[in-house]
Amino acid sequence: MGAGLDTLVALAREFGARHVAEQADALARRTAEGRFFVACVGQFKRGKSTLLNALVEQPVLPVGVVPVTAVVTILRHGPQPRAVLNGVEEIPLHALADYVTEEGNPGNAKAVRAVEVALPSPILQRGMCLVDTPGIGSVFAANTDATRAFVPHIDAALVVLGADPPISGDELALVEDVSKHVGNLLVVLNKADRLSDDERRQASEFAQRVLVQRLSRPIGILEVSATQPGTRDWPKLENALVELAARSGADLVDAAQKRGTERLRSQLRHELQERRDALLRPLEESERRLAALEKTIAAAERSMKDLGVLLTAEQQRLSATFEANLNEFLKSIPATTDQLLREISDDRKIALAQARTLARDRVQAWHAQIRPVAERLYSAAMDRFVALANDFLARGVTAEPLDQESGFRVPPRAFFTEMLSLTGRSPLRWIADVVRGKRGMRSQVERYFAWLLEVNASRVASDLTDRVAESRRLLEKEIRARLREVATMSHRALEAARKSRAAGDSAVKADLERLDLAVSRLSG
């Protein structure tokens, strides 16, 4: 089963693996305090921060009319309100916006990893921590990265949806990603007070149907309004969170400990192996090896740059492929229009709704058809990047290889849009319908339908091209980070070996014994 968390913390401190020690210490504190994370996730401007403020009954999190949250913010129980930055520095609670918002901390220039806010809130008393995450799909790319980087730490999720659209492609992809890590999902349709009963019912049913199809498990949706807590399904939401803490809190804490311990154990094992190898090699060889490694990393950077030219050409080819797929789809518009006109209502409002429904179904079906093909093409194109990186990582370095790309690294950002100005029935439109008759109304709906298909299909094709570029950027970023991590680890191992050698053979022997014992303790 391997070393427990206490042993892992002690070993990381003993061997100066600060990055592992800090993470292990935080995990140990979290476990000792019985804390588990319920992350509030969703697209930007779904009202996540407002919802959490309502749950803790304090307006502690900044809210606004533009995407606000830029940093993961953890709300936990505490006797007095206080905020702690990066686990060490206390900051005034009233200054929270200076650290966690895009306006106060643009692009996270202040290097904030996370902020913990302690509150004497009853709903947090049993160890549950509510986590405010930056909205996915935000115009600020770093915000989306922060949310996805936090996914492995999530124990349960509170998914916040809206009604326009009820659930977007990027939200669906994130929920699917989160569901791979957690079994407990609570889904709410927020801002329910802004919808009519019929609109709310349709939005909820649509989101539920899509989620069940994607996740292959029952999903219930609670209809709430964060600005009107206590109404509609709000009591059910509070009860669900309280029951989650009472029924599953201990199990979630235990699962989080096991998951985090295994991840940190693997990191420390590589560190110890690198130090052991550095002690066994002649010091001059380790020095040559580090110098060679630095040259290797420089060569990797040059090779990535050279390969990048080829991959840019490959991206252009993929973009052309998506464009060709789009053109084929657009050729089907006349046949699909004929289908609509055979079923169209004589009532203008109903006819427009039929056009929207059929257009949405056709675009989504086409997207579902070409997406796996696009992901396979992207993965095949990036295989050369991954193979190159693994080749450099394998050159005398103890490091885990990169996995092959299995698909896009970012979710879809395009969602179905419609020309809302066409859907109303003003007096002038009513008179125009009477004058033009059924034929004129049908002609207008036909044009509207063709517009919906063309615009939304074009957005899908453009989104696929953007996802190729963004996924490639993130892959390159990970490769460079992994190479730098390997060089840093080798440098630490060399410095430790120098110190040991300077103390004499007995010190080297003692250090080898300590390392062997540590590896043995890690294994179990």
Q: In sequence order, what DSSP letters do the residues of 14-35 get, joined into one string?
A: HTT-HHHHHHHHHHHHHHHTT-
Rg (the chain; Cα; Å)? 27
The one-letter amino acid code at 400 reads E
Among candidate residues 32, 36, 29, 6, the one with its CA nearest the CA of residue 251 = 36
Residue 52 CA to residue 39 CA, distance in Å, equals: 10
Pairing of strands 156-161, 36-41: parallel
Residue 349 CA to residue 65 CA, distance in Å, equals: 31
Say if residues 184 and 157 touch (Cβ distance below 8 Å): yes
Residue 85 CA to residue 90 CA, distance in Å, equals: 6
Residues 6+ apart with CB under 8 A from 388: 300, 303, 304, 307
Q: Which residues pair with 263 in a beta bridge?
A: none
Each residue of 481-522: pLDDT tens digit? 777 777 787 788 888 888 888 888 898 899 899 888 888 888
Q: So where are the chain's domains?
A: 38-248, 283-505
Residue 360 CA to residue 363 CA, distance in Å, equals: 5
180: DSSP letter: T
Say if residues 77 and 38 touch (Cβ distance below 8 Å): no
389 token code pair: 């990186």
Each residue of 98-109: pLDDT tens digit? 888 777 877 667
Other beta carbons within 10 Å of 142? 15
Please tell me whether residue 134 adopts helix, strand or coil conformation: coil
What pTM was computed for the model? Answer: 0.56
With vertex at residue 36, the alpha carbon angle to CA 32 and CA 38, rounded to the nearest 5 degrees, is: 165
Q: Has domain 38-248 been given CATH number 3.40.50.10600?
A: no
492 token code pair: 């630490």
Residue 140 CA to residue 138 CA, distance in Å, equals: 5
User: Edge-to-edge, what's the strand order for the sheet holding 36-41?
Assistant: 89-91, 82-85, 115-119, 73-77, 128-132, 36-41, 156-161, 185-189, 221-223
Say if residues 43 and 28 touch (Cβ distance below 8 Å): no
Q: Is the pLDDT of residue 119 over 50?
A: yes
Other beta carbons within 10 Å of 124? 22
Average pLDDT, rounded, for the chain = 78
Residue position matching structure tokens 């520095």: 89
Residue 187 CA to residue 153 CA, distance in Å, equals: 19
Q: Is the pLDDT of residue 419 over 70?
A: no
**Number of H-type helices and E-type strands within the chain:** 13, 9
Say if residues 137 and 80 touch (Cβ distance below 8 Å): no
Q: Which residues pair with 84 in a beta bridge?
A: 90, 116
Q: Where are the alpha helices (DSSP H) in 33-140?
A: 48-56, 97-100
Residue 279 CA to residue 300 CA, distance in Å, equals: 27
Q: What is residue 400's predicted lDDT score, i.e. its pLDDT?
A: 61
With a pLDDT cut of 70, the percent of the chain lying above it is 85
Helix (H) or strand (E) holding 370: helix 348-393
Q: Is the pLDDT of residue 198 over 50?
A: yes
Instruction: Output helix, strand, coil percentages for the chain, rounded to the nearest 5.
Output: 65, 10, 25
Each residue of 346-360: pLDDT tens digit? 887 888 888 888 888
pLDDT band for position 66 (cuts 50, 70, 90) = very low
With vertex at residue 337, the alpha carbon angle to CA 334 and CA 339, rounded to the nearest 5 degrees, is: 115
pLDDT band for position 524 (cuts 50, 70, 90) = low
Q: What is residue 431's predicted lDDT score, i.e. its pLDDT?
A: 41
Q: Which residues pair with 222 in a beta bridge?
A: 188
Q: Which residues pair with 37 in a beta bridge?
A: 129
pLDDT band for position 436 (cuts 50, 70, 90) = low
Q: Is the pLDDT of residue 412 over 70?
A: no
Please tell me whether residue 242 adopts helix, strand or coil conformation: helix
Residue 287 CA to residue 397 CA, distance in Å, equals: 14
Q: What is residue 423's predicted lDDT score, i.e. its pLDDT?
A: 43
Q: Is the pLDDT of residue 127 over 60?
A: yes
Residues in the chain, how many? 524
Q: What is residue 254's predicted lDDT score, i.e. its pLDDT?
A: 82
Q: What does residue 188 show for φ and ψ, rounded to 5 degrees?
A: -125, 145
Residue 459 CA to residue 39 CA, distance in Å, equals: 30
Residue 191 CA to residue 47 CA, distance in Å, equals: 8
